[in-house]
A and B are shown apart, each in its own frame.
Chain A
Amino acid sequence: MSHQDQDEFRDESVSLWRIAFAPTVWAFHFLLCYAGGAVWCAKFGAAQGVGFLRISVLGLTVLALALIVWQGWRSARQWEPHDASATDLHRPESRHRFLGHAAFLLSIISGVGVIYVALPALFITSCR
């Protein structure tokens, strides 16, 4: 790896974190909803119903979506979709924007994933 490549990699490390951010939020939302649901139903569900569980899932979902929207907005700015001047991926600037594009698309799919994961909480009426 040349010095130039190393410099670019260092500069883009934030972009790489940004790509992983939205799917990571999705993963943690999934984990907390399902593990939380299992623990709640095993410990308290029979006596206390699922009201608290549903509100918790709603809160987690709002938080996750807020993080994903924020991430998507930053990625869209990095992407600069309305500027068609830099499409040649050989240039570092173009690669920088491409990473923003990829992170933006991953934010969308993560947002859809979070909504799908949260949907059951809208309908459950008991732990059965």
Chain B
Amino acid sequence: MAGEGVQGPRSDKAILPRRAVCLLPLVLIAGCTGRQSALAPAGEDAAQLKLLLLVMLAGAVVLWLALNGLFYYVTRIRPGAFHIRHANRLIIGAGVIFPTVLIGALLAWGLSIMPGQRAPGDGLVIRVKAEEWWWRVEYWPQGSDAPITSANEIRLPTGSRTELRLTANLYIHSLWIPALGGKMDMIPGRETVLTLHPQAAGTYRGQCAEFCGASHALMAFETVVMEPDAFAEWLRAEAAPAAAPGGAGAALFRDEGCGACHTIRGTDFAGTVGPDLTHLASRVSLGAGIMQVSRDDLKRWIAHTGDIKPEVAMPAYDWLSDADLDHLATYLEGLR
């Protein structure tokens, strides 16, 4: 036959890319750690989900090995005709009963741990409303009749279960903090509940996990998990009005109409269209998890809002001079 026997040894050029492809999965291992990984749990619920994943994976591996092992056995080790009775036993035992029982057991176990993921909270309730690409956050400590309002950051105490009551403004979103637990949809006009029991203090990244529009990928937030005492202290400070500085920045904030959309408690600014800015400078991120609370980022955000976060409601104040932006940044940096 033409072409047969003319194949020489494969060149290194052909082999190298294949080896490189084999190494690609190693890149994915990076996803097993970090502050946004479901495989590096920092809470009871995430640990449970990780165990669930590992057991399901083990079940899948057992099924895969058994099926392919059987296939190997009947095609390579013992090819040829089976007695009809043996063949039937093999098909019914290994092909029907074994997977049905294994999958049934995994399903039953998975279902048995689900109620724990929705266990009632220990007192603190946090209401989160997904807006157009940012998060409205309200803390309702046990027994309180008015919320402590914040935005774009969720703080949780360790060692107790906190209830997150979720809703959305216009579109369906989903709240997911992989290191702490599963995700939960946020639906306009409805309230969904997620409860989380963080165990390790730290800062973990959360992300909208349901495609919601132009800036879906830019809709993130930081979750700061604190020891109970530190959390109580932080909540007290968060409840207080802003230590708002005066000066040129405050005047600009008023003259440019910023207060029509943003609330700064302790001042006359009481707009509720955009995020509450009362303690903006004490937050760990700006623009819903996408920038730092730094002078440069504050100036860039004010002047180029829509370029940074497409279709955001806030207009870009690109007519302001650099000096004005500096004044505004100074004012905002003072909101502690």
- Give A contacts to B, CB under 8 Å: 108, 112, 115-116, 119-120, 122-126, 128
The reply to whether B114 and A123 contact each other, CB–CB distance below 8 Å, is: yes
Residue of B nearest to A116 (CB): B107
Residues of A within 8 A of B112 (CB): 123
The reply to whether A128 and B193 contact each other, CB–CB distance below 8 Å, is: yes
Residue of B nearest to A121 (CB): B111
Can you list 21 A-B pairs with a CB-CB distance of less than 8 A? A108-B96, A112-B100, A115-B104, A116-B104, A116-B107, A119-B107, A119-B108, A119-B111, A120-B111, A122-B108, A122-B111, A123-B108, A123-B111, A123-B112, A123-B114, A124-B115, A125-B115, A126-B115, A126-B118, A128-B118, A128-B193
Residue of A nearest to B193 (CB): A128
If A122-B108, A123-B112, A123-B115 are given as contacts, then 11 extra A-B residue pairs at C-beta distance below 8 Å, sorted by A number, are: A108-B96, A112-B104, A115-B104, A116-B104, A116-B107, A119-B104, A123-B108, A124-B114, A124-B115, A126-B118, A128-B193
In whole angstroms, how far apart are the Cα atoms of A123 and B112 in the complex?
Answer: 6
B273 to nearest A CB, angstroms?
Answer: 32
Interface centre among A119, A120, A124, A128 (most CB of B within 10 A): A128
Residues of A within 8 A of B100 (CB): 112
Interface of A is mostly: helix
Residues of A within 8 A of B115 (CB): 123-126
In whole angstroms, how far apart are the Cα atoms of A124 and B96 in the complex?
Answer: 28
B108 to nearest A CB, angstroms?
Answer: 6
Residues of B within 8 A of A128 (CB): 118, 193
The 6 closest A-B pairs by CB, nearest first: A128-B118, A123-B111, A125-B115, A123-B112, A120-B111, A112-B100
Interface of B is mostly: helix
Residues of B within 8 A of A115 (CB): 104
Residues of A within 8 A of B114 (CB): 123-124
Within residues 106 to 128 of chain B, which ones have a CB less than 8 A from any CB in chain A?
107-108, 111-112, 114-115, 118
Residues of A within 8 A of B104 (CB): 112, 115-116, 119
Residue of B nearest to A127 (CB): B118
In whole angstroms, how far apart are the Cα atoms of A108 and B91 in the complex?
Answer: 14
A79 to nearest B CB, angstroms?
Answer: 13
A31 to nearest B CB, angstroms?
Answer: 20
In whole angstroms, how far apart are the Cα atoms of A120 and B115 in the complex?
Answer: 10
In whole angstroms, how far apart are the Cα atoms of A126 and B115 in the complex?
Answer: 8
Residues of A within 8 A of B193 (CB): 128
B102 to nearest A CB, angstroms?
Answer: 12
Residues of A within 8 A of B118 (CB): 126, 128
Residues of A within 8 A of B107 (CB): 116, 119
Residue of A nearest to B109 (CB): A123
B187 to nearest A CB, angstroms?
Answer: 14
A117 to nearest B CB, angstroms?
Answer: 10
B130 to nearest A CB, angstroms?
Answer: 20
Residues of B within 8 A of A108 (CB): 96
In whole angstroms, how far apart are the Cα atoms of A126 and B112 in the complex?
Answer: 13
In whole angstroms, how far apart are the Cα atoms of A2 and B114 in the complex?
Answer: 58
Within residues 56 to 98 of chain B, which ones have a CB less than 8 A from any CB in chain A?
96
Residues of A within 8 A of B96 (CB): 108
B311 to nearest A CB, angstroms?
Answer: 33
In whole angstroms, how far apart are the Cα atoms of A122 and B104 in the complex?
Answer: 13
A114 to nearest B CB, angstroms?
Answer: 12
In whole angstroms, how far apart are the Cα atoms of A112 and B101 in the complex?
Answer: 10
In whole angstroms, how far apart are the Cα atoms of A115 and B107 in the complex?
Answer: 11
In whole angstroms, how far apart are the Cα atoms of A126 and B120 in the complex?
Answer: 11
